[in-house]
Structure 1
Amino acid sequence: MAWVSGALLADAQAAPKTINFQFTDVNGKSIRLSDYKGRWVLVNFWAPWCPLCWEEVPELNDLNKRQDFVVIGVGLDYGPEANIVPETARRHNLNFEAIVAGGSRRNPESPFRQVGPVDFYPTSYLYDPNGEIVMFIPGQIKVKRILAFMDTWRQIHSVK
């Protein structure tokens, strides 16, 4: 892994290149990474009690409006009541592609572990249009850095 512009890039030798995660969102819809082939996917982990998570919501909502981008929000560590996840998402105006109630980050059986570890909130993982994990973002996102990374990636891969 390597630090680039304040984000940790996934090293192809250190981590699997592709992970086809599958979640069920709060509306019962199945969400698979493969459903978004050709688009950038940011999986953003948050907790209802995390004030830093709510500061980045406007930028995440803006990213999700892009035609080439999808944001999937995974709420974790919310206690015994899963209904707090959609309620919190509404209260903080999360306008993401999907909202998922992921359970506890300490539960080894939690489906979010398909994506990667979450040691604190917020934490995000960015997947390129081929479904390969390309960035691990511990802490708040910086949209300018993500967009700059996307531009560089397109140049390297000759994609417009």
Structure 2
Amino acid sequence: MRRIIALLVIIAAATTVVWVFSHNETRDSSERIAVGSIAPEFDATTIEGKKVRLSDFLGQIVVLNFWASWCTSCVREMPLLNDIHKSTSSQIETLFINVGESKGTVSEYLKDHNFSFPVVIDVTGKISTAYGVSALPATFIINGEGKIKEAILGEITDFP
């Protein structure tokens, strides 16, 4: 009798695991942002206290980068992204979304590396969730119409 109960428990557990993974995979794939779709709107405040909305940048290309200072790939791509920020024309806006770190940590990181780009801290994960970001770094290039032109998951070694 114990063997039968143990076998039923194992079968129930295995079925539950398979259902959870298949359900999450389906849900995650439907929530991913597709190239060509409208970029999710968000309201945020930069660490300097400036209010920003994605819609404020309609008519411009927006480079939206999700990162964290503990992320090795993020740290490696930062000098390139900082150069892009410094050299871009008025038609291109860069906005960096730090995922989950404190304002003090982010400010110290920027100061230590002489980076001057605008940073929003996504403490609650609301913005990264809206974009389906599940790993860092992640970069989205949004065209002047507010549509995602390109999604780059992983480290950028050369800007497109």
Do both share a fold (TM > 0.5)? Answer: yes
> Alpha carbons of 1:20 and 1:77: their partners in 2 closer, same or farther (altered >3 Å)?
closer
Map of 2:121 onto structure 1:
101
Map of 1:66 onto structure 2:
88
Matches within 5 A, 1:27-42: 27-42=48-63
Matched residue of 2:44: which SS?
strand
Matched residue of 1:140: which SS?
coil
Distance 1:111 1:10 in 2: 16
* Structure 1: segments with no counterpart, 5+ residues: 1-8, 147-160
Map of 2:71 onto structure 1:
50
Map of 1:157 onto structure 2:
none
Q: CA RMSD in A?
A: 2.3
Distance 2:48 2:156 in 1: 26
Map of 1:25 onto structure 2:
46
The residue identity in structure 2 corresponding to 1:103 is V
Matched residue of 1:43: which SS?
strand
Map of 2:98 onto structure 1:
75
Structure 1 residues 59-89: Cα deviation after superposition (integer angstroms, max 9, x where no partner): 21222221122211111132xx432122212
Structure 1 residues 118-145: Cα deviation after superposition (integer angstroms, max 9, x where no partner): 211111111012111121111112434x
Distance 2:34 2:114 in 1: 30
> Alpha carbons of 1:111 and 1:10: their partners in 2 closer, same or farther (altered >3 Å)?
closer
Structure 1 residues 11-51: Cα deviation after superposition (integer angstroms, max 9, x where no partner): 44xxx424332211112111112222222111111112112
Distance 2:54 2:127 in 1: 13
Larger radius of gyration: 2
Percent of pairs identical after alignment? 29
TM-score (norm 1): 0.68
Map of 1:113 onto structure 2:
129
> Alpha carbons of 1:131 and 1:143: their partners in 2 closer, same or farther (altered >3 Å)?
farther
TM-score (norm 2): 0.68
Structure 1 consecutive aligned stretches of length 4 or more whose deviation exceeds 6 Å: none
